[in-house]
Structure 1
Amino acid sequence: MADNQDRINLLHQKLDFLIQRQDSFQKEISELRREIESLQRETSPVSKVETVSFTQEQPVPEKPRVHQQTRVAPKPIAPRPEPKIKKPSNWEKFIGENLINKIGVLVLIIGVGIGAKYAIDNELISPLTRIILGYLMGLGLLGFALKLKKKFESFSAVLLSGSMAIMYFITFLAYSLYGLMPQSLAFIIMVIFTVFTVFAALKYDQQVIAIIGLVGAYSVPFLLSDGSGKVLVLFSYMTLINIGILIIAFKKYWRLLNLTSFFATWLIFATWYFSSFNVSMHFNIGLTFLFIFFAIFYTAFLSYKLIKKENYEAKDIFSVLSNSFVFYGIGIGMLNAHPVATNYLGLFTLLNAIIHFGVSTLIYKKKLGDKSLFYLILGLVLTFITIAVPIQLNGQWVTLCWAFQALLLFWLGRSKKVPLYENLSYIVMFLAFFSLVEDWWNYKNATPFFNPDFLNSLLFLTAFGFIFYLQRKFREEENTKIKFHVSLMNYFVPGVFLFVFYKAIQMEISNYWNLKYLASTMSTDRSGYSIYNEKFMDYETVWILNFTLLYLSAIFFVIEKKIKNAALEITTLVISGLTLFLFITTGLYTQASLIHNYMNPTDVAPAGFFGVIVHYISLVILAIFVYRIYIYFISRQEKNRMLFDIFFSILVIWILSAEMLIWLNAFNIYENNKLGLSILWGCYSLLLISYGIWKGKKHLRILAIVLFGITLLKLFFYDIVHLNTIRKTIVFVSLGILLLVISFLYNKYKHLILDDDKK
């Protein structure tokens, strides 16, 4: 009755709609008639004869013309599309027909499980009776489902999937928990259930049967894998279910089914591996089923679209990559835990490359799938081949795998114009970078520059260097708007490359001096702790600063010759400023300590003459760095030249002051520090003013006056308190003479100064 009433209401709605359309058409017809009559009156004012034709009439030659209306046929009015009757969403219908039955089946399965557990715990019925009752429950639900198939196919499919999950559950318990059937019989029954479930899913064309019936069966044995025998049963059971899913994958593109089984399988396997894996008991079993599961899902993810020759989307590519990396990651872990197999990590990596090479060759020869899939799998081959050698030397395989995977994906995405691959490569780039940082965190002292950690960084640089090259080679079109994340990665890649290149060498410098430090044990104190030569740590500081200045000089050279990038220039200038500040403070102080130690040697921490050599090598490196900055500035606007003059003048007086203090302290002449600085600053101010007058540089003259003012303040408020009479006399006389000379120069060359001010 309720269905008839719904039908009546729907027919009333359609009738009302047709009546409304009829009224609308009647109004349009009346308006068209009035318009036609109006046009006829305007075009035929004399003749009352009206000839209405809906086709263009051609004039007949050599006949008297009659004032006859000639009309152009009106364009046919396109019929208006019928407005769709918006059916009210019936949530009650959705819940009642689709949702409740699935929830009901799940509740039923849970209820059977709870009841079985209660019966087991309280020993109410015998094991054989429990199994028989379980089968009867499953078969009864199956029969009821088949009976309802003709009228209620969707509901029947849900019931059928529940019945198969229950019978999987009962069969597994009968063999694994109670031992009521031999292994061969359990295997045969499982095969029958799998074949039937696959057949039913395809026959019904209902994904829900496969999901609840096959995937739901994964939850049965989750907690029963506590020994080698049980593990074998567990994984054999899972293999049967996955084979059924693989068969369906050849016929249907049921992605939810594939993903659910994929996550369920690897979740169970990973949980077992991390919690119960014992290399002596489970190595062969684990490695065998690891390969079986990988092969099943590899085939399942590729099969349907290869057969149908459809293009692969982001989700398909992600599935293939995830399966490969899970297999490779767990496989490496198993091999690494084995005392013998740990020597064959590189061979295992090469095996991965061979597997992917075989698949890519098959795709190419049979012309299966699209080119993007072929490039992806071929890229996996190149990736695994590339990292096979360093893996054999070092276990830092994750970083390299991700770095070269990012290179592959970026090359495919940018060169073949597949944005999906390029976007995926950005994610992998971040993963590779953070993995490298973790490797650095676990860095171990070894032979400098000839160790796996440095090789790891170099290979990472190779991958990102190629990515940066591809970014410049395959630029985005000028007339297209570059997306934000693409623009961001255009800065991220070169930034990471420069940072990693610097950090890799800097760590080796630190490694070298750390080894020197650890090998410099000279004695032990009373508490038994070793005493080391701390000067090796000073050398580390100095050489890291020297390398940083050289590195920045090289970047300035590249900016000048090759790359014009505002962000890179600004970043380099900021880092240069910080490094220069550290050099003229910490660096010069450390060098002073080395020179002082050489001039005043001790048995505890001798520095040697090399400390003096390092100081002047550092000054030469500083000069190279300042020269590169000079080249950078003079190639820009003229005002930058003035800024460089000020920067260079301040730097020179700072270095001269430091040099004087270093040698005064080296010779233990501490009382003349203040006297020497005041005279040095005064003389330098005189030189700056002279140079400023000669070159017409007002900013240098002003800087000299400011420096002289600082010198006088220092003299009256600081020096005069700590100097004796002779030194006071020397300082005052010297500065007085300098002031007079400066005044003389201003008076003698005032015409030059005035001309300079007018410019």
Structure 2
Amino acid sequence: MSENRAKINQLLEKQEILHEKQESLSEELNELRNEIIRLKNVATAPLEKEKEIQILNENLLEDLKNIASPRVQEETKIETAKIDANPSETIKASQSKSDIEKFIGENLINKIGIAITIIGVAIGAKYSIDNDLISPLTRIILAYLMGIGLLGFGIKLKSNYENYSAVLVSGAIAILYFITYMAYSLYNLFPQLFAFILMLIFTVFTVVAAINYNKQVIAHIGLVGAYAVPFLLSDGSGKVAVLFSYMTIINIGILFIAFKKYWKALHFSSFVFTWLIFYSWFLGKYETSEHFMMGSSFLFLFFAIFYVLFLAYKLVRKEKLNKGNSLLIVANSLLFFYLGYSILSLHETGQHLLGLFTLINAIIHSIVSIIIYKQNLADKNIFYLISGLVLLFITIAFPIQLDGNWVTLLWASEAALLFWIGRTKKVSLYEAMSYPLMILAFTSILQDWFTVYNSYVVEDTETRITLFLNVNFLSSILFIVSFAFINKLNSKLKYPTLLGSWIKVTKLLSYVLPFILLFTLYYSIRIEIGNYWNQLFEDSALSIQAVGEEYSNYYSNYNLKDFKIIWILNYSLLFFSVLSLVNIKKLKNRKLAFANVGLSTLTILVFLTLGLYSLSELRESYISQSLAEYYQRGTFYILIRYISFVFAAIALTSSYFQVKEEFATKKYKIAFEYLLGISILWIFSSELLNWMDISGSTQSYKLGLSILWGSYSLLLIAYGIWKNKKHVRIGAIALFALTLVKLFFYDISHMSTIAKTIVFVSLGILLLIISFLYNKYKNSITDEEDV
């Protein structure tokens, strides 16, 4: 006994230990469950969370049962052994119906059967008609009796065989529809109104039966039959008001049943049938003089029914918005707009109200969005979708009702607003919508520039555009403000994009936005300057008939085109100079600095070629005073060159600071020094030619340039030795070599003896001086460059 008692105590202690381990493990499992639930709450929809929590609880409960009752596994093994030991039970289980067999036996066969029955009734009716076996009235009565009998039989079986009963009832309803059509169409036994009422009763009964059976198939059969009624009973009279009134009643019934039973397929079916019927009628039967008011009214009524239908689930049932729902809402809105726009465009008065109609679409959606927002009726995605439709129709309304600059301005403002909402309020839909609007706005402003600034006609003074004081320039400035706002918002790290799948687009945006902004800022002023001089040139046109001549002579002041080129270049040089300084002081953007240095260099080179050539043309006109009796050739034709030199100096200075600030490397500094040296030489050469031409010298291109280039080479070599800049010395030697080539192959060909003497002696002395400098400072000249 004492041994047994000791053993019992040991077992009790062991049991206590196991019990403590069980409680500890239970607590750990409970903590694990809570942690998983917490993590699931972050990313899982409410319904999915509830289901997953339930499954998790069941699994954890099963684990706890296994821990609390170790014998469960043994009992499971025993049950398995029992089943294996009783083969009759196994055979019985294997003889249970499979899912495929159940589907065929309980669903497919009865539907095939009812279809064959309906076909049989139709064949029998046709046979009796073809062979005149019974009178038309008797045929219809027998057919009705068969349909009603099948209906009653189906209803009787509902309590025990609901699915089978539902199929019989739906087939009976189809037979009743068909028979009513035959009675009206083939035998004229019913007037149209009576047949219409009869089929309406069938439709109402179908709705009631679908709700009672809770079977969507009955509703679909009733729906197909209901929409077929108008076509089956049509007498070609064109009474579309009756057709659409009937469809309205049907749609309201469908709205009720679909909402009550949550049958989405019924939504889609009724949506497709309604708009197909309406669109088919519009294409084939619509007459503006007869159907305008009626068609417009029913169009709005159908739109409103489906709008309410689609939103009812979201607002009342608090259902989340998905892609399918969004597609139907957008499709319903766009179909209404397209058909309404088409109806109005065919009407004499309505075609002037297209913009107003588009705006009304926006107002309708805005009212809905405000109600949703104020009452907090649905999730934010529905509000954003409806608000997106508001913005869509406002966007469409601009080009429909407005012209030119207003369209550009409103599109740009709307793009900025959508982008701001999308980034700051984290609504990716709005950000995505802003991108096509940016493209539209930019395309629109380009079109405005092309059409407005190329439409000036001399005879039409109303087309004259005052420099900067015009609506076109104002719209350009407001466009720039909008895109500057977008660009600033895009550059802020605290407002990242939520369009993860559009990462390439958003990266491209960081380059495209600044480009559009800077291009518009530059070109909006440039085109104003160009247009100002174009208008002056058009105004300068003269038609003068000299005494004794038969035909008139036509003149224009072509120097105005030279002034246009010069002032556009002056503006360009100033623009890129200011941009460099702004970037150095505030923006500090290396990519912008690189682009700006390149554009500044290009502009300087254009100035050195085309600009200086235009200045020389003005000089020639000033000297020759050609057409001075018609156009004034004053000293400003000469002074303008020095104004241009100031702008060029500003551009070179800003480029120097930009290179020094952002590109403090040897190769960039060398490149700038070459640009600076070439610019100085080119401008000095032009200035020399300018004054030698004014003074009347005939050797300007030979004597003067050769001495200038040689002297400039000497200065560069001296500077290169002083600053220990090898590239400057090499450049100077290359320039001197070019000067010598010019001397021997061009200068001496038509030069006088005195001129030849002056040039040769001058260049010889310069060469000697250069050689002396190299010899004197040969020890201090190294390959090292102090850049």
* Shorter-chain TM-score tier: 0.5 to 0.7
Distance 1:207 1:539 in 2: 80
- Does the C-alpha gap of structure 1 residues 653 and 533 become closer, same or farther in structure 2, counting only changes over 3 Å? same
User: Any idea what SS the aligned residue of 2:627 has?
Assistant: coil
CA deviations 1:383-426 (Å, max 9, x no partner) are 87899899765267776665455444433332222334434433
- Residue in 2 that maps onto 1:632: 658
Can you list the C-alpha shifts for 1:693-714, whole angstroms capped at 9, x where unaligned?
4444333233222222222233
Secondary structure in structure 2 of the residue aligned to 1:638: coil
Could you tell me whether the CA contact under 8 Å between 1:145 and 1:160 is conserved in 2?
no
Q: Does 1:523 align with 2:543?
A: yes
1:508-533 deviations in whole A, cap 9, x for unaligned?
A: 44444444444444239999998755
2:505 corresponds to which residue? 485
Moved more, 424-433 or 524-533: 524-533
Please state if 1:305 is matched with 2:314. Answer: yes
C-alpha distance after superposition, 1:259-304 (max 9, x if no partner): 7877887789889999999988776566555644554454344332
Q: 2:627: which partner in 1? A: 602
2:431 alignment partner AA: E
Number of the residue aligned with 2:380: 371
Matched-pair contact (CA < 8 Å) for 1:387–1:397: no
Relative to structure 1, is the Cα distance of residues 655 and 163 closer, same or farther in structure 2, using a 3 angstrom cutoff?
A: farther
- 1:670 CA displacement: 6.5
Percent sequence identity over aligned pairs: 47
Q: Secondary structure at the match of 2:422?
A: helix
What do the CA deviations read for 1:336-395 (whole angstroms, capped 9, x no partner)?
Answer: 887767776776566455434422332233221123444565576688789989976526
What stretches of structure 2 of length at least 5 have no aligned partner? 1-7, 27-61, 68-72, 77-97, 119-135, 456-462
> Residue 562 of structure 1 aligns to a residue in which SS?
helix
Equivalent in the alignment of 1:582: 606
* Residue aligning to 2:645: 619
Partner residue of 2:682? 654
- Could you tell me how far apart the structure 1 residues matched to 2:766 and 2:606 are? 33
1:578 deviates by 3.9
Secondary structure of residue in 2 paired with 1:736 = helix
- Does the C-alpha gap of structure 1 residues 536 and 204 become closer, same or farther in structure 2, counting only changes over 3 Å? farther
User: Does 1:701 pair with 2:710?
Assistant: no
Matching residue within 724, 741, 747 for 1:713? 741
Partner residue of 2:491 out of 443, 449, 472: 472
1:689 alignment counterpart? 717
How far the C-alpha of 1:591 sits from its partner, in A, is 3.9
Mark the CA change 1:348 to 1:751 in structure 2 (over 3 Å): closer, same or farther. Answer: farther
Query: Residues 421 and 96 (structure 1 numbering): CA distance in 2 closer, same or farther, change over 3 Å?
Result: farther
Amino acid at match of 2:517: F
Query: Under a length normalisation based on structure 1, what TM-score does the superposition of the two structures give?
Result: 0.65
1:39 corresponds to which residue?
A: none
In 1, the alpha carbon distance for the partners of 2:539 and 2:169 equals: 73
Task: Give the C-alpha shift of residue 307 in structure 1.
Answer: 1.5
CA distance in 1, matches of 2:238, 2:174: 28
Question: Is the aligned partner of 1:561 residue 2:585?
Answer: yes
Alpha-carbon distance between aligned partners in 1 of 2:326 and 2:196, rounded to the nearest angstrom: 34
Deviation by residue 1:74-100 (Cα, 9 ceiling, x = unmatched): 989968999xxxxxx999999999999
Q: Name the structure 2 match of 1:593.
A: 617
Deviation of residue 234 (structure 1)?
A: 8.1
Instruction: Report 1:49-60 matches (<5 A).
Output: 55=14
Query: Cα distance 1:734–1:328, how it changes in 2: closer, same or farther (>3 A)?
Result: farther
Seen in structure 2, the aligned counterparts of structure 1 residues 295 and 453 have a Cα distance that, compared at 3 Å, is: farther
Rounded Cα–Cα distance in structure 1 between residues aligned with 2:105 and 2:684: 90
Task: Pick closer, same or farther for the CA change 1:718–1:518 going to 2, 3 Å.
Answer: same
1:698 partner letter: K
CA offset digits 1:591-638 (Å, max 9, x no partner): 433443344323799585465555444433333333322221111343
Q: Is the 8 A contact 1:372 1:412 kept in 2?
A: no
TM-score by length of 2: 0.63
SS at 1:312's partner residue?
A: coil
Query: What is the rounded CA distance, in whole Å, between the counterparts of 1:571 and 1:154 in structure 2?
Result: 78
Q: What code does the residue aligned with 1:650 have? A: I
Cα 1:347/1:512, change in 2 over 3 Å: farther
Distance 2:745 2:639 in 1: 37
SS in 2 for 1:620: helix
Question: For 1:753, what is the secondary structure of its paired residue?
Answer: coil
Closer, same or farther in 2 for the Cα pair 1:405/1:98, shift >3 Å?
farther
- Aligned counterpart in structure 2 of residue 497 of structure 1, from 514, 517, 521: 517
Alpha-carbon spacing, 1:336–1:231, altered in 2? closer, same or farther (3 Å): same
Q: Are the structure 2 counterparts of residues 718 and 151 from structure 1 closer, same or farther at C-alpha, using a change threshold of 3 Å?
A: farther
Secondary structure of 1:624's counterpart equals: helix
**Which structure 1 residue ranges, 5 or more long, are not aligned?**
1-48, 59-70, 83-88, 110-127
Change in CA separation of 1:621 and 1:298 when aligned onto 2, cut-off 3 Å: farther
Select between 232-241 and 427-436 the one with higher mean Cα deviation: 232-241
Letter in 2 for 1:602: L
The residue number in structure 1 matching 2:403 is 394
For 1:309, what is the secondary structure of its paired residue?
coil
On the 8 A contact 1:598/1:608 being kept in 2, the answer is yes
The separation in 2 between residues aligned to 1:294 and 1:371, in whole angstroms, is: 23
Supply the distance in 2 between the matched residues of 1:101 and 1:577 (Cα, whole angstroms): 85
Q: Alpha carbons of 1:379 and 1:51: their partners in 2 closer, same or farther (altered >3 Å)? A: same
Q: How many Å separate the matches in 2 of 1:524 and 1:185?
A: 89
| Cα offset, 1:738, TM superposition | 2.0
Q: 2:589, 2:663 → 1: CA distance?
A: 17
Tell me: CA distance 1:370–1:100, structure 2 relative to 1, closer, same or farther (3 Å). Answer: same
**Structure 1 match to 2:767:** 739
Distance change >3 Å, CA 607–CA 574, structure 1 → 2? farther
1:635 is paired with a residue of what secondary structure?
Answer: helix
Write the distance in 2 (CA, Å) between the matches of 1:539 and 1:299. Answer: 65
AA aligned to 1:490 is S
One-letter code of the match for 2:321?
Y
Return the alpha-carbon distance in structure 1 between the equivalents of residues 638 and 298 of structure 2: 65
CA contact (8 A) 1:387 1:401 kept: no
The DSSP-based 3-state class of the residue aligned with 2:781 is helix
For residue 556 of structure 1, report the CA deviation from its aligned partner: 2.6
CA 1:246 to 1:440, structure 2 compared with 1: closer, same or farther past 3 Å?
farther
Shift of 1:305: 0.9
Alpha-carbon separation, structure 1, partners of 2:530 and 2:224: 54
Aligned residue pairs, count: 672
Q: Distance in 2 between matches of 1:687 and 1:103?
A: 105
Answer whether contact 1:599 1:667 (CA < 8 A) is retained.
Answer: no
SS of corresponding position for 1:619:
helix
Q: How far apart are 1:685 and its partner, in Å? A: 1.9
The amino acid that maps onto 1:680 is L
Contact 1:309–1:369 at 8 Å: present in 2 too? Answer: yes
